[in-house]
């Protein structure tokens, strides 16, 4: 079949226009061959299916017409990769360490019992948790088991004074790792609070507070008398009368009546209240206030009697008496609590950081689109 020159030109022009059309509309696709062959009605070798080039790239999930990972303007958006666990680990350790020091210094601290002066309530090698917050919320009560600093109370030295928050934090950090001087830490039960008249003994050999006898059978060491030493003391303001539960071997307020304060200790020396035994597991228990201290008559004011008191010879010699000096437990517990609190905090800050990064990436993608303002 003969084809005129004009027809040839038209056919050639059609192929040229088709090629240009595909190049203009599919600028991100390479045109790999001429237009469709008219004589065979099928694409040329290497070419895409008819209309594929003109259709342009398939829209992504949000219908923007851009390939996955590309901004509307054709530019690719680089998402910041998530930090690996090893990059997050130093942050976790720092947060856990700071929380551990805060918990130990201002909230809860563990101590272990080295002597038997508080038996059977506390036995040798028991570990107890001491609440340091409670006395910021309420007064010290009769029957509380308190941990206190003996420096300046019974032992020579000055009465400890809490510094500012930063000094306390530094002291807590140093003592957790074995630095600094933790003081002569002791543990006893509070028998008399400021204004109480504490005496021993009545006709039945019981300790009395404001004339009210105490039934101490629930916490005294089995077979231990309430006291072999006789005393009669009015507790001065700001001070406490404390005694051990194993009275035969406890060096407590009775044995320091010749010291300044008449055997009492300053309330400011109290570190906190022992409220639970945490070790060994067989000894887990709460340390409640015994019921005898709930007698309403105990609230009566102590008389203004003289603080002079006589003391009798004790069955155990002074050398055998135990003052239940405590040793702070190792840093394992505060560090464990610190890590337990740090894990959710680290996870939360990671989620917030990733979410903020994604929002910023979307914002940059939208600002770079073809319709964005210059």
Instruction: Encode pLDDT of 137-150 as tens digits.
Output: 999 999 999 999 88
pLDDT score for 331: 61
- Whether the predicted pLDDT of 35 surpasses 80: no
pLDDT score for 188: 96
pLDDT score for 343: 73
**Residue range 31-52: average pLDDT?**
45
Backbone angles phi, psi at 327, to 5 degrees: -120, 130
pLDDT score for 100: 82
The two structure tokens encoding residue 28: 């991100």
- Whether the predicted pLDDT of 96 surpasses 70: yes
- Whether the predicted pLDDT of 135 surpasses 90: yes
Beta bridge partners of 274: 130
Question: Is 100:109 a contact under the CB 8 Å cutoff?
Answer: no
CA distance 298 to 211: 8
pLDDT score for 323: 57
Return the residue matching tokens 């006589």.
Answer: 310
Instruction: Specify the higher pLDDT residue, 179 or 283.
Output: 283
Helix H or strand E encompassing 350: helix 332-367
pLDDT score for 274: 97
- Whether the predicted pLDDT of 158 surpasses 90: no
Q: Do you know the residue count of the chain?
A: 374
Q: What is the mean pLDDT of the chain?
A: 73
Give the alpha-carbon dihedral of 86, 88, 91, 93, to 10 degrees. Answer: -50
Torsion sign (Cα): 132, 197, 295, 207: positive
pLDDT score for 4: 46
DSSP 299: G
Return the residue matching tokens 């601290």.
Answer: 109
Active site residues: 117, 188
Torsion sign (Cα): 245, 251, 256, 261: negative
- Whether the predicted pLDDT of 357 surpasses 60: yes
pLDDT score for 37: 46
**Residue range 231-258: average pLDDT?**
94
Q: At what angle do helices 85-102 and 332-367 cross, to 10 degrees?
A: 130
Q: Which residues of 15-45 are buried (b: 16+ CB within 10 A; e: fewer)?
A: beebeeebeeebeeeebeeebbeeeeeebee
Question: Is 140:306 a contact under the CB 8 Å cutoff?
Answer: no
- Whether the predicted pLDDT of 178 surpasses 70: no
Between strands 212-213 and 207-209, the pairing is antiparallel
pLDDT band at 300 (very low <50, low <70, confident <90, very high): low
pLDDT score for 294: 94
Instruction: Specify the higher pLDDT residue, 309 or 265.
Output: 265
**Secondary structure in 3-state letters for 87-132:** HHHHHHHHHHHHHHHHHHHHHEEEEECCCCCCCCCCCCCCEEEEEC
pLDDT score for 248: 93
pLDDT single digits (tens) 61-81: 444 444 444 444 445 444 444
- Whether the predicted pLDDT of 312 surpasses 50: no
pLDDT single digits (tens) 258-293: 888 889 999 999 999 999 999 999 999 999 999 999
pLDDT score for 337: 66
**Residue boundaries of the structural domains of the chain:** 10-55, 110-161+175-332
Q: What percent of the chain has pLDDT over 70?
A: 57
Instruction: Specify the higher pLDDT residue, 159 or 264.
Output: 264
pLDDT score for 26: 42
**Residue range 304-323: average pLDDT?**
37
SS3 233: strand
pLDDT band at 304 (very low <50, low <70, confident <90, very high): very low
- Of 167, 171, 151, the closest CA to residue 159 belongs to 151
**Residue range 220-232: average pLDDT?**
94
Rg (CA), the chain: 41
159: which residues sit within 8 A by CB, 6+ positions away?
A: 151, 152, 153, 266, 268, 269
Instruction: Please tell me the CATH code under which domain 110-161+175-332 is placed.
Output: 2.10.109.10
* CB count in 10 Å sphere of residue 245: 24
pTM surpassing 0.75?
no
């Amino acid at each position: 079949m003969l084809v005129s020159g004009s027809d040839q030109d038209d056919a050639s022009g059609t192929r040229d226009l088709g090629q240009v059309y595909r190049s203009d509309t599919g600028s991100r696709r390479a045109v790999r061959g001429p237009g469709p062959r008219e004589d065979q009605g099928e694409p040329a070798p290497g070419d895409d299916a008819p209309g594929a080039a003109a259709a342009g790239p398939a829209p992504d999930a949000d219908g923007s017409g851009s390939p996955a990972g590309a901004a509307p303007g054709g530019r690719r958006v680089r998402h910041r990769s998530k930090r690996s666990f090893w990059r997050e680990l130093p942050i976790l350790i720092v947060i856990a360490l700071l929380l551990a020091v805060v918990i130990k210094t201002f909230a809860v601290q563990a101590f272990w019992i080295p002597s038997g002066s508080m038996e059977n309530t506390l036995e040798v090698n028991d570990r107890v948790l001491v609440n340091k917050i409670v006395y910021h919320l309420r007064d010290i009560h009769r029957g509380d088991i308190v941990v206190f600093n003996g420096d300046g109370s019974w032992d020579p030295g000055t009465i400890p004074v809490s510094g500012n928050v930063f000094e306390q934090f530094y002291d807590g950090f140093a003592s957790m790792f074995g630095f600094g001087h933790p003081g002569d830490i002791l543990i006893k039960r509070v028998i008399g609070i400021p204004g109480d008249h504490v005496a021993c003994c009545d006709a039945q050999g019981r300790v009395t507070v404001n004339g009210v006898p105490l039934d101490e059978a629930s916490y005294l060491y089995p077979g231990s008398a309430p006291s072999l030493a006789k005393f009669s003391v009015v507790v001065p303001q700001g001070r406490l009368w404390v005694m051990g539960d194993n009275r035969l071997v406890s060096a407590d307020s009775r044995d320091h009546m010749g010291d300044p304060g008449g055997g009492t200790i300053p309330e400011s020396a109290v570190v906190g209240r022992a409220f639970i035994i945490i070790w060994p597991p067989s000894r887990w228990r709460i340390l409640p206030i015994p019921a005898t201290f709930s007698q309403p008559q105990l609230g009566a004011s102590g008389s203004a009697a003289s603080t002079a008191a006589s003391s009798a010879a004790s069955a155990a010699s002074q050398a055998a008496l135990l003052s239940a000096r405590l040793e702070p437990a190792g840093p394992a517990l505060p560090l464990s609590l610190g890590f337990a609190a740090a894990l959710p905090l680290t996870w939360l800050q990671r989620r917030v950081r990733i979410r903020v990064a994604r929002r910023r990436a979307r914002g940059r993608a939208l600002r770079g689109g073809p319709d964005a303002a210059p």
